[in-house]
A and B are shown apart, each in its own frame.
Chain A
Amino acid sequence: MADKIQVDGGKTRAPKSMRRSRPEVHLDTEHPVTVTIDGLETEVPFGTTILEAARKQGVKIPTLCFHEDLCVAGVCRVCLVEVTGHSILHAACAYPITEPIEIFTNTPRVRRARSHMIDLLLSEHLGECYSCWRNNNCELQKLAQEYGVRRYRFGHVSERSEPVDRSSYSVTRDMDKCVLCRRCVRTCIDLQEVGVLEALYRGHDTKIGTFLDKPLGEVVCINCGQCINRCPTGALRARDPVEEIWTAIDDPTKHVVMQTAPSPRAGLGECFELEPGTPVTRQLNTALRRCGFDRVFDTNFTADLTIIEEGTELILRLYKALVEKDASAALPQFTSCSPGWVKYLEHFYPDFIPNLSSAKSPQQMFGSLIKTFYAEKNGIDPKDIVSVALMPCTAKKYECNRPEMCDSGYKDVDYGLTTREMGRMIHQAGIDLPSMPDSDFDDPFGTATGSGVIFGATGGVMEAALRTVLELVTGKLVENFYDHCDITPIRGFEGVRLAEITIDEVGPVPEIIAHLVPDWNWLKGATLKVGVAHGTANAKLVLEDIKAGGPFSECHFIEFMACPGGCLGGGGQPIPTSPEIRKKRAEAIYAEDAGSKVRKSHENPAVLGVYEQFLTDGPCGEVSHRLLHTHYTERGKYIV
């Protein structure tokens, strides 16, 4: 079982952007250097930045362009400090300590220069905090407050110089609020390696833009929203459907249904000043009903369904490829539940489209079921159903607008709502989420399993799939292989992971899938190789590795998530994000899994019920293919 691996000679990036071209001083923990910070002497490893050293001493230095997930830029110049003997000030985030120095973080000169930086930024910033979505959660606003800005010393803009770019289904850009910290650039190019945003032009004309400065909707943006998560201001924002959802709720003829994904439930608490990683699942159900949603469902239900469908697809593919030697069955099979990842593949590696599982994402499966199965069962005209999905993700907003996602005859999911937007709706409704009583999800999709929950963390889909596949194929409980069915080797935040599982025996295969292949014995003694990658930069590493015939080319099944950390680090999650916060959210998710009564997708009685009553020809059957599977588009990356 390999968990730490090197692919393609390069180190995988546990979510941390790296710009190879910008050299940094490497940390050398063997060589401590003595520094004095505001009179306090301390030792730090060679190469520690002044900012880190100060933080360790409990000295707070304001920052703006610095972000824990990203490589250093040193461009906002807010984090200035004075170093004895140096005539100029230094940016603490960008100054590695390589020799003993004496640092002062609070001198008149430093204070004045910092407030000058803030004044300068504000002078070109369309400051209209009342109407800005980041009001109260804005790093620029906070700096202005901390540094006592009481007037606009160097002027102030109150008129728009550029219209807001609303061309994308997911991300809107208001460049009049951009402070050119370049976090989005570092996110998009270095962390995600999608490469949509860059600094353009130069001097005072510098701006952040896309290729040819086109609207975001026209370039190869994968809608992951990671740039939004790291933007310190209101310049980037998810496309907001809240007003439309309220309108639907207020309309008595509409039946408004909500599905909630596991990651928002692990993150939403942060919008209510709860510690990161405080799960609010059942309180949220109550809050949603009070908001006026007619039904509240658990996306985990279709996550379980996804596992059955995708697992079945995998078995069929393996059989075709390994037993029938049919070259058209592409291996490894790739997961398809992350719409950002799907779009990434369509743009950059269209040759791999045959490898993508045709199973829809849980959100879209639910969408189709609600407007077909649920509507039928409850005698509701699907045209009156408004289906909302609470997601950690901005790409889901794009996904539900893909033209092919209308298999119910209507738009399967009407709105993708992010965690942040949900938080605002609840605030708006005057509901104090933390004090809500618990309540359950609505039937008929009421039960979900722990497997569905862990979809939210990187490695989760794989773990859920393995739990099911192992058990169905071997006929033995997963607990025999892994304690508490925690398949820990594929957990964690390592950028890419590989695991191998040998199937020693093939047990009685349950009826629901038994008919799929004529014979199951070929699996006996087989070694199932699986991989996990999160963040598109890591996805790229894996794809390049497959192309080069590396270890990932031997995999049978690989989980890809577009966002670092998986959905729990999604572009729609509360801001800020950091490795620490993502870890806490993951803990919440694994705790919810551990506390679930049922932990394996194939044991979900409601899922089995759907196969009995509706998808009667079984997993990957004809109905299921029509409603739960989809197809992809070769997009390519050329845009003109």
Chain B
Amino acid sequence: MIKSFVQKKLTFREIDPEKGLRAAMDLSPEAVIDCISDSGLKGRGGAGFPTGAKWKFCRAAKGEQKYVVCNADEGEPGTFKDRVILTRFPHLVFAGMTIAARAVGATRGIVYLRGEYTYLLGGLKKALQERRDDGRLGPAVLGGDQEFDIEIRMGSGAYVCGEETALIESLEGHRGESRNRPPFTADTGMNADPTVVNNVETFAWAACILDKGPDWFRVVGTDHSVGFKLFSVSGDIDRPGVYELPLGTTVQELLEAVGGENAKAVVIGGAAGRCVGQGEFDRKVCYEDVPTGGAVIVFGPGRDMLEVAENFLEFMCEESCGQCTPCRVGNPKLLECVRMLKDGNCSASYLREIVALGESIHAASKCGLGQSSGNVFLSIVEHFREEIMGRAVGSV
């Protein structure tokens, strides 16, 4: 049994998933969308796109068959909160998906579960069957006029398939290579039909919001980031696990909550996130400051930041889909540079050249993977120059 530590006070524990669902079924689709829009809910998968707006596009898009896809490909290093949600609150997620289906007029739902989580499959299937058995899924959800069913499709070990267009390519039986946008998935997604793709947590919050109302959700947060968010916290701390904190919490507050006060650096947002040094612990974790899909990795005083950069870049080089030049060829250059730094033979001017390249990789890449792959490295170069320059050969 895999038992992650989960903070005691957790909204999801207190919510009855079916109440939100019932509320949604009694509302018109437009009213459901308004409710979500009013709440200010933004995607919990990382990019932070307003969920209400996404659903609205999808509702407006023409298409006979619409899809609701739950992105459970959680592959970002340092994230595991979706696993915890799927283990403990699957009904909340399925209720959220059904609500989304109601909102956009979809009849088919798909959970794209990463292959590593195959062990969750049995429990999830059981939960789905329960829902079918008592009419929370099926030709008439809760006896109303909404038809909806959910199937589970497995990933096969590719981080990039978490990217929503790559995910759809994968569902369609292709290599997980991201698509060009526009068109966006809300308009042209699965089988070229309108498709809503949301994170596991986003669906769970949607179910909560339908139950408690949009204003309940808005009570915490900042101007542009409202509500609570689950954080997967790991690394050199006393209590690794899943925490629920309001968006806008500072890094310092977060560290205090998890027992990581003596941290030297925190990587927020996983391998695609950024590295925050001690001097910046007053920054806020929210979409307008330091955004995250929920991954927080804490590094204690003894950690070598170049090792961090190296590990994450190795990850990116292997997990890139390899179609576009900046990401396929550029990331290995960054990795090479990290290794040069480790060996103390990277000149300052080459480092400058690489930093400029990193910016181009960010700007030129086709999808979010390449656009964010260099973040950790670049922020380490920015904040830890003293530490990374002038190493003696073999000092590590």
Chain B CB within 8 A of A88 CB: yes
CB under 8 Å from chain B, chain A span 71-86: 72-78, 80
- Asked whether, in the complex, the Cβ of B353 is within 8 Å of the Cβ of A77, the reply is no
- Asked whether, in the complex, the Cβ of A203 is within 8 Å of the Cβ of B325, the reply is no
- Nearest B residue to A19, CB-CB: B174
**If the complex has contacts A116-B357, A117-B326, A123-B329, are A109 and B363 also in contact, measured as CB distance less than 8 A?**
yes
- Asked whether, in the complex, the Cβ of B326 is within 8 Å of the Cβ of A206, the reply is no
Q: Which of B179, B183, B329 contacts A120 (CB 8 A)?
A: B329
- Nearest A residue to B361, CB-CB: A116
Tell me the bound Cα distance from A154 to B160 in angstroms. 26
| Interface membership of chain A positions 47-89, coded 1 if the CB is closer than 8 angstroms to chain B and 0 otherwise | 0000000000000000000000000111111101000000111
Instruction: Identify which of B112-120, B198-206, B364-372 touches chain A.
Output: B364-372
Contacts of B366 in A (CB 8 A): 74-75, 77, 91
**If the complex has contacts A113-B363, A113-B364, are A154 and B357 also in contact, measured as CB distance less than 8 A?**
yes
- Asked whether, in the complex, the Cβ of A113 is within 8 Å of the Cβ of B182, the reply is no
- Asked whether, in the complex, the Cβ of A202 is within 8 Å of the Cβ of B364, the reply is no
**If the complex has contacts A77-B364, A96-B182, are A206 and B322 also in contact, measured as CB distance less than 8 A?**
yes
Least Cβ–Cβ distance between B311 and chain A, in angstroms: 15
**Which one of B188, B333, B371 has the greatest number of beta carbons of chain A within 10 Å?**
B333
**A-B CB pair tally, cutoff 8 Å:** 121
Instruction: Identify which of B44-52, B138-146, B312-320 touches chain A.
Output: B312-320
- Nearest B residue to A179, CB-CB: B325
Least Cβ–Cβ distance between B391 and chain A, in angstroms: 21
Tell me the bound Cα distance from A182 to B322 in angstroms. 12
Tell me the bound Cα distance from A25 to B371 in angstroms. 23
**If the complex has contacts A117-B364, A154-B357, are A203 and B328 also in contact, measured as CB distance less than 8 A?**
yes
Main secondary structure, interface of A, reads: loop
Contacts of A252 in B (CB 8 A): none
Least Cβ–Cβ distance between B361 and chain A, in angstroms: 8
- Nearest B residue to A201, CB-CB: B322
Tell me the bound Cα distance from A517 to B318 in angstroms. 69
Contacts of A123 in B (CB 8 A): 329, 333
Chain A CB within 8 A of B129 CB: no
- Asked whether, in the complex, the Cβ of A120 is within 8 Å of the Cβ of B330, the reply is yes
| Interface membership of chain A positions 188-232, coded 1 if the CB is closer than 8 angstroms to chain B and 0 otherwise | 000000000001011111100000000000000000000000000
Tell me the bound Cα distance from A78 to B177 in angstroms. 18
Chain B CB within 8 A of A95 CB: yes
Tell me the bound Cα distance from A114 to B365 in angstroms. 12
- Asked whether, in the complex, the Cβ of B353 is within 8 Å of the Cβ of A76, the reply is no
Least Cβ–Cβ distance between A87 and chain B, in angstroms: 8
**If the complex has contacts A21-B174, A23-B183, A94-B180, are A75 and B329 also in contact, measured as CB distance less than 8 A?**
no
Contacts of A154 in B (CB 8 A): 333, 353, 357
Contacts of B325 in A (CB 8 A): 75-78, 117, 120-121, 179-180
Q: Which of A23, A73, A89, A94 contacts B364 (CB 8 A)?
A: A89
Chain B CB within 8 A of A24 CB: yes
- Asked whether, in the complex, the Cβ of B320 is within 8 Å of the Cβ of A91, the reply is no
Interface size on B, residues (CB 8 A): 40
Chain B CB within 8 A of A325 CB: no
Tell me the bound Cα distance from A117 to B330 in angstroms. 8
Chain B CB within 8 A of A263 CB: no
- Asked whether, in the complex, the Cβ of A199 is within 8 Å of the Cβ of B330, the reply is no
| Interface membership of chain B positions 320-345, coded 1 if the CB is closer than 8 angstroms to chain A and 0 otherwise | 11111110111111000000000000
Chain B CB within 8 A of A102 CB: no
Interface size on A, residues (CB 8 A): 43
Least Cβ–Cβ distance between B51 and chain A, in angstroms: 21
Chain B CB within 8 A of A22 CB: yes
- Asked whether, in the complex, the Cβ of A203 is within 8 Å of the Cβ of B321, the reply is yes
Tell me the bound Cα distance from A195 to B289 in angstroms. 47
Chain B CB within 8 A of A112 CB: yes
| Interface membership of chain B positions 178-214, coded 1 if the CB is closer than 8 angstroms to chain A and 0 otherwise | 0110110000100010000000000000000000000
Q: Which of A75, A88, A155 contacts B363 (CB 8 A)?
A: A88
Contacts of A124 in B (CB 8 A): 329
Least Cβ–Cβ distance between A579 and chain B, in angstroms: 22
Chain A CB within 8 A of B87 CB: no
Chain B CB within 8 A of A427 CB: no
Chain A CB within 8 A of B175 CB: yes
Tell me the bound Cα distance from A3 to B277 in angstroms. 70
- Asked whether, in the complex, the Cβ of A153 is within 8 Å of the Cβ of B364, the reply is no
- Asked whether, in the complex, the Cβ of A112 is within 8 Å of the Cβ of B356, the reply is yes
**Which one of A72, A89, A202, A205 has the greatest number of beta carbons of chain B within 10 Å?**
A202
Chain B CB within 8 A of A333 CB: no
- Asked whether, in the complex, the Cβ of A204 is within 8 Å of the Cβ of B317, the reply is yes
Chain A CB within 8 A of B362 CB: yes
Chain A CB within 8 A of B172 CB: yes
- Asked whether, in the complex, the Cβ of A120 is within 8 Å of the Cβ of B326, the reply is yes
CB under 8 Å from chain A, chain B span 216-236: none
Q: Sample 5 A-B pairs with CB under 8 A, ordered by A number.
A: A80-B363, A109-B363, A116-B364, A203-B319, A206-B323
Chain B residues within 8 Å of A, Cβ to Cβ: 158, 160, 169, 172, 174-175, 177, 179-180, 182-183, 188, 192, 317-326, 328-333, 353, 356-357, 360-366, 371
Pick the 6 closest A-B CB pairs, nearest first. A206-B322, A116-B360, A94-B180, A120-B329, A23-B188, A113-B360
Excluding A109-B363, A120-B357, A180-B323, 19 further A-B contacts by CB distance (< 8 Å) are A21-B174, A74-B180, A76-B324, A77-B364, A77-B366, A88-B363, A91-B180, A91-B366, A95-B180, A116-B364, A120-B329, A121-B325, A155-B333, A180-B328, A182-B323, A199-B322, A202-B320, A203-B320, A206-B328
